[in-house]
């Protein structure tokens, strides 16, 4: 607790003049105002409420003034959160964070207090961490079993095909998706004092969609099926060939699901006048299948913070987006669903789990 009356008359007069000076920088004036109010006996919480701050910030300002006077109040670097640690202590903190990757500032603050006796507020601690070269970040999702050579070989083969195929050939990407009748909660801007929520439906019904997309035209074929299997793939391939009547050959890229390799599929492809040629994406490489971006875009537009009272309404919204919205708006959406492939090098990431 900070007891009032700690200022001399001269200090109080100087701080009051600074707080009232219309030409002084607003941030300095606010700090001076906070010190004057503390001197009058106000608590940190009361001062913070009046100035729309948090009480840890008010305490840091008081500690800065107590240590360095008016000069300390006028500095806006990381002095309040870095100069208290020696270079050796900073190095120890950096080493510990690099090894442990703590998930909260509270954990870091507890370590600092236990090992070096420093009690940091949240804002001061964040400033210190930024100064030491740390950011708060979320790990990327990385598939298991990534192989650099296979990825590079696939990209090279795909680019060679695009550069050499004839005008009467086309390329499509195929995959399946199973959206569930549920709202997907997504972050949004909202008033600070308003609690927000999404209502959850009681059903667990899902759609089974076997689909394809042509990245050149934005044309899609989306089949709602009872079960995704070899038979649904054959039905989809028929729909793809029917949608490309002027093409003599259609290169179909798809993943290594077992039903894609089924004998019934191979036998169908051998039939006379078939146009489809299957190309398989390397295992564990969803980033090399652009239709995955199509599913992500579908969820963004149809399930994020969107509630459908019935499964019928949910199904209609999903299929409308996939069958009609994407092709109709392809000029706008083509930058979101692309074949701008890149190799994900596992050795360039630190895997934390």
Q: What is the pLDDT of residues 277-329, one digit of tens each?
A: 999 999 989 999 999 999 999 999 999 999 898 999 999 999 999 999 999 99
DSSP state of 280: E
Q: What is the pLDDT of residues 221-246, one digit of tens each?
A: 999 999 999 999 999 999 999 999 99
Q: Which residues have CB under 8 Å from 228's CB, separation 6+? A: 176, 178, 208, 210, 259
Percent of residues in the chain assigned helix, strand, coil, to nearest 5 = 50, 10, 40
Q: Is 254 helix (H, G, I), strand (E, B) or coil?
A: strand
How far is residue 297's CA from residue 293's CA, in Å, rounded to a whole number?
Answer: 6
Torsions phi, psi for 180 (to 5 deg): -100, 145
- For 36, the token pair is 């004057």
pLDDT over threshold 90, residue 75: no
171 strand-pairing partners = 251
What is the per-residue DSSP string for 105-125? HHHHHHHHHHHH-----HHHH
Tokens 């709202």 sit at which residue? Answer: 183
Q: Is 291 helix (H, G, I), strand (E, B) or coil?
A: helix
Give 274 or 142, the one with higher predicted confidence. 274
208 strand-pairing partners = none
* pTM strictly above 0.85: no
DSSP state of 256: -
Nearest to 181 by CA among 197, 198, 203, 211: 203
Residue-level pLDDT at 76: 63
Q: What is the pLDDT of residues 255-266, one digit of tens each?
A: 999 999 999 999
- For 85, the token pair is 């640690």
């Amino acid at each position: 607790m900070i007891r009032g009356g700690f200022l001399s008359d001269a200090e109080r007069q100087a701080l009051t003049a600074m707080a009232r000076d219309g030409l002084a920088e607003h941030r300095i004036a606010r700090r001076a105002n906070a010190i004057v109010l503390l001197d009058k006996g106000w608590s940190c919480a009361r001062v913070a409420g009046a100035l729309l701050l948090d009480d840890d910030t008010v305490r840091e300002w008081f500690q800065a003034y107590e240590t360095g006077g008016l000069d300390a109040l006028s500095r806006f670097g990381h002095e309040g959160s870095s100069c208290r640690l020696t270079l050796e202590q900073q190095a120890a903190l950096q080493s510990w964070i690099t090894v442990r990757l703590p998930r909260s500032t509270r954990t870091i603050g507890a370590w600092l207090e236990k090992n070096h006796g420093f009690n940091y507020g949240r804002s001061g601690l964040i400033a210190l961490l930024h100064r030491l070269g740390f950011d708060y970040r979320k790990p990327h999702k990385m598939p298991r079993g990534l192989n650099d050579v296979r990825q590079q070989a696939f990209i090279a083969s795909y680019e060679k095909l695009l550069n050499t195929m004839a005008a009467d050939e086309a390329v499509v990407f195929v995959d399946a998706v199973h959206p569930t009748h549920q709202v997907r909660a997504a972050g949004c801007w909202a008033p600070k004092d308003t609690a927000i929520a999404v209502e959850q439906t009681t059903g667990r019904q899902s759609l089974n969609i076997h689909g394809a997309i042509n990245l050149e035209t934005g044309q899609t074929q989306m089949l709602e099926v009872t079960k995704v299997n070899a038979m649904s793939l054959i039905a989809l391939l028929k729909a793809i060939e029917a949608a490309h009547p002027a093409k003599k050959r259609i290169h179909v890229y798809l993943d290594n699901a077992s039903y894609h390799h089924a004998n019934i599929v191979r036998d169908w492809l051998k039939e006379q006048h078939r146009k489809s040629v299957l190309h398989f994406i390397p295992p564990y490489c969803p980033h090399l299948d652009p239709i995955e971006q199509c599913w992500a875009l579908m969820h963004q537009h149809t399930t994020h913070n969107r509630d459908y009272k019935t499964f019928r309404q949910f199904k209609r919204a999903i299929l409308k987006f996939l069958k009609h919205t994407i092709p109709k708006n392809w000029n706008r959406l083509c930058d979101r669903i692309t074949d701008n492939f890149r190799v994900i090098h596992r050795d360039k990431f630190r895997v934390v789990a």
